[in-house]
């Protein structure tokens, strides 16, 4: 991101970062439906020119091993999939800082941390969430709905070669 490394950073793998950034850029340019979770969202944000809060403990507080409330904006892909409020589980100590090009925040934690973003003005279907819906998707229909929305978009893309548009039904 062009930022100096924070002392709390660990396990940095520049080759993996370069690969992940290239995949994100390709998927977005091709209009491939993309669901980005936690680090994946951070990668997409950096790929689009944004940056990261490298250690949340110094700003909003730690989100590591935390379950907390998230408010979702009306009229968004995310709200269409899961509704306006959700409890989420997090493991991150980093978060989105400056948002990348065309990234629109659509959900936030009570402390103001951006928890989800969308790219409404770009080709394809994109949803990025900072939390881990996979943790409870097997038993929580709200978290499972995040994946169902992505699957619906992917099926439409496969069927038509065109990105899905609008919130899932």
Which residues are catalytically annotated?
Answer: 38, 132, 134
Integer CA distances (angstroms), 157 to 126, 141, 154, 168, in order: 12, 24, 5, 13
Residue 25's nearest CA partner among 17, 6, 78, 136 is: 17
Distance, CA of 57 to chain centre = 20
Spatial separation of the C-alpha atoms in residues 84 and 156, rounded to whole Å: 25
């Amino acid at each position: 991101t062009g930022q100096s490394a924070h002392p709390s950073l660990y396990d940095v793998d520049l080759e993996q970062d370069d690969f992940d950034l290239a995949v994100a850029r390709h998927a977005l340019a091709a209009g491939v439906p993309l669901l980005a979770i936690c680090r994946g969202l951070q990668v997409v944000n950096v790929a689009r020119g944004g940056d990261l809060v490298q250690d949340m403990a110094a700003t909003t507080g730690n989100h590591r091993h935390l379950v907390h409330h998230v408010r979702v904006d009306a009229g968004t892909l995310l709200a269409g999939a899961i509704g306006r409020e959700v409890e989420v589980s997090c493991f991150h100590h980093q978060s989105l800082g400056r948002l990348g090009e065309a990234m629109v925040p659509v959900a936030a934690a009570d402390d103001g941390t951006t928890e989800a973003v969308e790219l409404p003005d770009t080709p394809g279907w994109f949803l990025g969430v900072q939390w881990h819906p996979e943790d409870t998707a097997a038993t929580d229909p709200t978290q499972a709905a995040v994946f169902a929305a992505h699957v619906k978009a992917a099926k439409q893309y496969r069927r038509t070669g065109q990105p899905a548009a609008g919130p899932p039904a």
